[in-house]
Amino acid sequence: MRITPLFSGSTGNCTLVSTGSTCILVDVGKAVKHIEQAVRCAGEDMRGISAIIITHEHRDHTTGLKGILKKYDIPVYTTAETWEVIRERTPGLRSPRFREVRPGEVFRIGAALVRAFQIPHDAACPVGYRIEAEGHSFAIATDIGQAQPGWLEALRGCNAVMLECNYNEDLLSKSDKPEFCKERVRSDHGHLSNEECADVVVDLVRGGVEHICLGHMSATSNRPEMARDVVTKRLKAAGLVDGKHYGLTIAERDNVSRSIWL
């Protein structure tokens, strides 16, 4: 199994998961031309994409959907509530191959088994996904307001996890964002801070997760070095050593990141 974050940030999200002949895009949050280019950079072709799975309807996760479905016949998987909002907001959207997903459901896409799990975010019915194939497992959990037993349990024991590490509190407080936006980010249905993410990472590594990829970082309220510093210090304090107990990477916001191989 190969996981390639094509981009992961406040301006767009898309992750490629490939195993054998099965290639899945998790979210398509940029224009179709950018997604096509990123998929090519990752060594794949849009005509070989097996499915698109959508976590929730926000534009940084769905911007490219209409353009992709005009050009390619790719099935789309997401919750019924999410799909309804996407259709309402996207005149002319077509997808004769929509597949409804229910939180907690396990379904098959080619060689992969996919499980959707509920996450707390201010969207219609947001989910994360755990993907298993060839004896390996990967989970993606971004746009999360708070740590909760349900989605944490879905991540435990995975070989690799992409986890949100969205904001630094000091940078958020000093940013030009309106106060209501700051409160939304901090809320229980907003995003995980660096410190909140670090606490979750310690829990996951202790539970057997081998590789952590930090993603969905704010362009204005976070910096990769800040996120890495907080997370690695928390892991070190817990007696967990990089290269021995875990591996850590940071997904780039606007460029294709190096692949994680399982």
Kindly report, residue by residue over 81-126, the tens digit of the pLDDT: 999 999 999 999 987 899 999 999 999 999 999 999 999 999 999 9
178, amino acid identity: P
Cα 137 from Cα 154, distance rounded (Å): 11
What predicted TM-score, i.e. pTM, was given to this entire model? 0.97
Looking at residue 94, its pLDDT comes to 82
Calculate mean pLDDT across residues 34-52.
98
Q: What is the pLDDT of residues 221-262, one digit of tens each?
A: 999 999 999 999 999 999 999 999 999 999 999 999 999 999
pLDDT at residue 96, as a whole number: 81
R_g over Cα of the chain? 17
Is 120 in contact with 55 (CB distance < 8 Å)?
no
Segment 174-185 mean pLDDT: 96
Q: What is the pLDDT of residue 162?
A: 98
Contacts of 241-250 spanning 24+ positions with Cβ under 8 A = 245/205, 246/205, 246/209, 246/210, 246/211, 246/212, 247/210, 247/211, 247/212, 248/211, 248/212, 248/213, 248/214, 249/211, 249/212, 249/213, 249/214, 250/165, 250/213, 250/214, 250/215, 250/217, 250/224
Instruction: State which residues form the domain around 232.
Output: 2-261
- Per-residue pLDDT at 106: 97
> Which CATH number do you get for residue 8?
3.60.15.10
Token pair for residue 129?
């996904």
Domain count, the chain: 1
67-80 pLDDT per residue, tens: 999 999 999 999 99
Above 90 in pLDDT, residue 61? yes
* Residue range 142-172, pLDDT digits in tens: 999 999 999 999 999 999 999 999 999 999 9
Q: Which pLDDT belongs to residue 129?
A: 98
Q: Answer yes or no: are the C-beta atoms of 81 and 103 closer than 8 Å.
A: no
User: How is residue 160 written in tokens?
Assistant: 């690799």
